[in-house]
Structure 1
Amino acid sequence: MAYNGKEMSNYIKGINESQIQPAGVDLRLDKVFKFIEEGYLGEGKRVLPNTEEIAPIDNLYDLSKGAYKIRFFDIVEIPKEAIGICFPRSSLLRMGANLSCALWDPGYSGRGEALLNVLNDKGIKIEKYARIAQIIFIKLKDIPDKLYNGIYNNENL
C-alpha cells in the first residue's frame, strides 16, 4: 500500500503545497556537483569519488551532456513502516535527462542525493529549487527488525 501525498507531507520538512501530489511529494533541487575522479566499490571497500560543486548563475544551472550528483533541498524522514522510492519528474525526462535514486530505507533521514544523467546533446537548464523528482512511500507488510543506521543517515543536515 502506498501513502498519498498529503500523508507523506508529514515526513518531509519545509515543503510547500505545490509539492504535494496525489501519490507522492515532489523534491526540489538544491545543489549540483560534477565528478572529478573515479570511484570504487568492492566487497568490504567503498571509495566515493570527490566532486566539485557547480555554482548556479542567477539561480540557473546550465548543464551539458554528462553525469552529475545532485542534492535535494527537502529533508526527508522515512517512517519506520515504509520505504521511499524516488522517480524523475516527467518534465525532466521530456527534456532528455534522467534521474536515478537508490531505495530509501525505513529510518533514513536527510537531504538525499541522486544521479542526474543529462542525455540531451544540447544540454539542459534547471533552476535551483526546481521540482526535479517525486518520492513515494510504500508501506511494508511488517515493521522491520531494525531501522536504517548506515553512513548516509542524517546526510547533508
Structure 2
Amino acid sequence: MVFLPPFSKETIREYIDLKTQTQIAGFDLSVKEIMYLEDGGVLDFDNSKRLIPQHELLEKKDDAWMLKPGGYLVRYNEIVEVPYDAVGIVLPRSSLMRCGATIFSAIWDPGYKGRGIGLMVTYAEIKIHQNTRIAQIMFIRTMEKTKKGYSGDYQNER
C-alpha cells in the first residue's frame, strides 16, 4: 500500500518548498549536485572485493549543468528518513523522461537516513538547473514495522 507519511522535519528535511514538492503520491526530490564516474567499479557477493568508483563533481555554468548523453550520479537536496514500516521507491518525474532522461535508484530500506543518490541516464543533451525537481520518492508500507533499520555503508549520506 502506498502511503504518505506526514512530511515533517523527521521524515524529509532540507527541502526547497514543502507545498510545491508534496505530491499526491509522493514527494519531489531536487538536484543538489551532479557527478560523473571517473572509472569502473567492482562488485562481489560479500563486499570483500567491492570497489565503488571515484566520482567528480560537475561544474555548473549560470546555475545549470549542460549534460551530454551518458550516465551521471545525482545527489538530492533533501535528507530523507524512511519510516521503519516502509520502503522508499524513487521514480523519475515525467518531465525528466519527456526530455530524454531518467533516474534509476535502489530500494530505500526502512530506517535509511540520508541525502540519497540516483543514477541519471540522459539519452539526449539536457540542461538541468540547480534545485530542479527530477524524481519523486514514494513510500510503500511493509507488512510489519522492522525492529532494526538499515545500517549499511550509505547510512547518513551527506
> What 5-or-longer segments of structure 1 have no aligned partner?
none
| Cα distance in structure 1, aligned partners of 2:101 and 2:82 | 26
> What 5-or-longer segments of structure 2 have no aligned partner?
none
User: What letter corresponds to residue 127 of structure 2 in structure 1?
Assistant: K
| 1:42-71, Cα deviation, whole Å (9 max, x unpaired) | 122210000110011111010001111110
Higher strand share: 1
Residue of structure 2 equivalent to 1:119:
123
Q: 1:97-136 to 2 correspondence within 5 Å?
A: 97-120=101-124, 123-136=125-138
| Cα distance in structure 1, aligned partners of 2:77 and 2:14 | 9
Residue of structure 1 equivalent to 2:12:
12
Query: Alpha carbon RMSD of aligned pairs, Å?
Result: 1.0
Tell me if the contact between 1:34 and 1:68 (Cα under 8 Å) persists in the aligned partners. yes
Residue of structure 2 equivalent to 1:75:
79
TM-score by length of 1: 0.93
User: 1:143: how far off?
Assistant: 1.2
SS of the aligned residue for 1:43 comes to: coil
| Cα distance in structure 2, aligned partners of 1:30 and 1:39 | 24
TM-score by length of 2: 0.93
User: 1:109: how far off?
Assistant: 0.4
Runs of 4+ residues deviating >6 angstroms: none
SS of the aligned residue for 1:84 comes to: strand
Residue of structure 2 equivalent to 1:32:
34
